[in-house]
């Protein structure tokens, strides 16, 4: 599961921290670990409220990202665009400001609520929907679709393939898709564990001061990266947040797109180090 709560008396906190830090087990990607609990209101609200994408991931400013996506999608004025896993809506809103008609889909209630509030405050008509992109049938046709922030890698290979097939059905003939993924050829750091003390209002995972153990495991076969975060607040109850990411080479990404009946157009640098964009066209 993505989140696990294990009770422990506060008096045992030091021993508990030592025990967690020495945990030798290595989770099995897409079996023991999937992705963050995006569908939980508390988690999704905290994440979109506190995430600073530039400082967290070294990402480009939203305006620059959107211009890159527009270049790759090459949409006509007022084209209908589909923002997959739209998060706090920053890309969809920037697209709407440029005159495009945008539908944003995200599973997180906190993310969708924030996106809707932002669009309303700006007087924009953006159709934000709280839905699971893996379990919907698109009723409308779109001229283009995009998935940013390396989001394609948050799905298992089977889920990613199902998502591409669903999007292919939702696109008009000749419609384009841009997906951003974690690049398997970018070079990954070795396994890592670090402790840090987090002050109140700075963590993506919890309110209030706490100790945090960040752990990253990289497995070159089958090209996955697992992140685990153990959060230890003053009550001594350890909370575990985990996330698996699937890494792709250009060859494996091309294969996934072509299997979903897309013709590959190009690869280009992603919005942050270690990410890459793929652009393809519906056959």
- For residues 199 and 120, state if they share a domain: no
* Domain assignment present for 48: no
* Domain assignment present for 219: yes
* Domain assignment present for 147: yes
- For residues 99 and 164, state if they share a domain: yes
Q: In total, how many domains does the chain have?
A: 2
Say how far apart CA 102 and CA 125 lie, in whole Å.
8
Q: What is the pTM of this model?
A: 0.86
- For residues 84 and 15, state if they share a domain: no
* Domain assignment present for 68: yes
| C-beta separation of 260 from 149 below 8 A | no
- For residues 70 and 114, state if they share a domain: yes
CA dist 27 → 20, 183, 241, 248 (Å): 14, 21, 13, 20
Q: What is the pLDDT of residue 204?
A: 78
Side-chain half-sphere exposure of 64, counting CA atoms within 13 A = 10
Q: What is the pLDDT of residue 21?
A: 61
Q: What is the pLDDT of residue 203?
A: 76
* Domain assignment present for 171: yes
Averaged pLDDT of the chain: 86
CA dist 1 → 65, 134, 227, 237 (Å): 32, 18, 13, 17
- For residues 80 and 133, state if they share a domain: yes
Q: What is the pLDDT of residue 11?
A: 46
Per-residue pLDDT reduced to its tens digit, 107-128: 999 999 999 999 999 999 999 9
Q: Which two tokens stand for residue 89?
A: 């809506």
- For residues 88 and 159, state if they share a domain: yes
pLDDT tens for the chain, 283 residues long, are 344 444 444 444 565 566 566 665 778 889 888 888 888 888 888 887 776 654 444 556 888 999 999 999 999 999 999 999 999 899 999 999 999 999 999 999 999 999 999 999 999 999 999 999 998 888 889 999 999 999 999 999 999 999 999 999 999 999 999 999 999 998 776 777 776 667 666 677 887 788 888 888 888 888 999 988 888 877 777 888 889 999 999 999 999 999 999 999 999 999 989 999 999 999 9
- For residues 121 and 217, state if they share a domain: no
- For residues 91 and 174, state if they share a domain: yes
Which residue, chain included where needed, has tokens 């698996």?
244
- For residues 39 and 70, state if they share a domain: no
Q: What is the pLDDT of residue 2?
A: 44
3-state helix, strand, coil in the chain (%, to 5): 30, 35, 35
- For residues 64 and 190, state if they share a domain: no
Q: What is the pLDDT of residue 230?
A: 83
Domain carrying residue 68: 53-180+252-282
- For residues 242 and 262, state if they share a domain: no
CATH of the domain at 74: 3.40.50.150
Q: What is the pLDDT of residue 198?
A: 72
Q: What is the pLDDT of residue 59?
A: 55
- For residues 210 and 262, state if they share a domain: no
* Domain assignment present for 36: yes
């Amino acid at each position: 599961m993505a989140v696990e709560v294990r009770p422990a008396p506060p008096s045992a906190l030091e021993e508990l921290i030592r025990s967690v830090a020495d945990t030798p087990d290595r989770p099995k990607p897409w079996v023991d670990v999937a992705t963050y609990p995006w569908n939980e209101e508390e988690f999704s609200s905290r994440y979109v409220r506190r995430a600073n994408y530039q400082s967290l991931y070294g990402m480009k400013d939203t305006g620059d990202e959107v211009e890159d996506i527009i270049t790759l999608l090459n949409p006509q004025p007022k084209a209908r665009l589909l923002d997959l896993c739209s998060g706090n809506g920053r890309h969809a809103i920037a697209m709407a400001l440029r005159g495009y008609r945008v539908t944003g889909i995200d599973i997180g209630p906190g993310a969708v609520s924030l996106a809707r509030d932002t669009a309303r405050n700006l007087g924009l008509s953006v159709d934000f929907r709280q839905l699971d992109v893996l379990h919907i049938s698109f009723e409308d046709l779109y001229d283009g679709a995009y998935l940013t922030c390396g989001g394609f890698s948050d799905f298992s290979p089977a889920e990613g393939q199902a998502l591409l097939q669903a999007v292919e059905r939702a696109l008009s003939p000749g419609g384009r898709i841009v997906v951003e993924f974690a690049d398997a050829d970018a070079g990954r750091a070795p396994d890592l564990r670090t402790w840090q003390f987090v002050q109140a209002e700075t963590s993506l995972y919890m309110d209030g001061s706490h100790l945090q153990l960040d752990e990253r495991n990289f497995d070159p076969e089958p090209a996955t990266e697992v992140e685990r975060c153990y959060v230890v607040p003053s009550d001594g109850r350890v909370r575990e947040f985990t996330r698996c990411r699937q890494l792709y080479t250009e060859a494996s990404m091309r294969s996934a797109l072509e299997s979903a009946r897309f013709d590959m157009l190009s690869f280009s640098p992603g919005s942050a180090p270690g990410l890459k964009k793929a652009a393809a066209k519906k056959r």
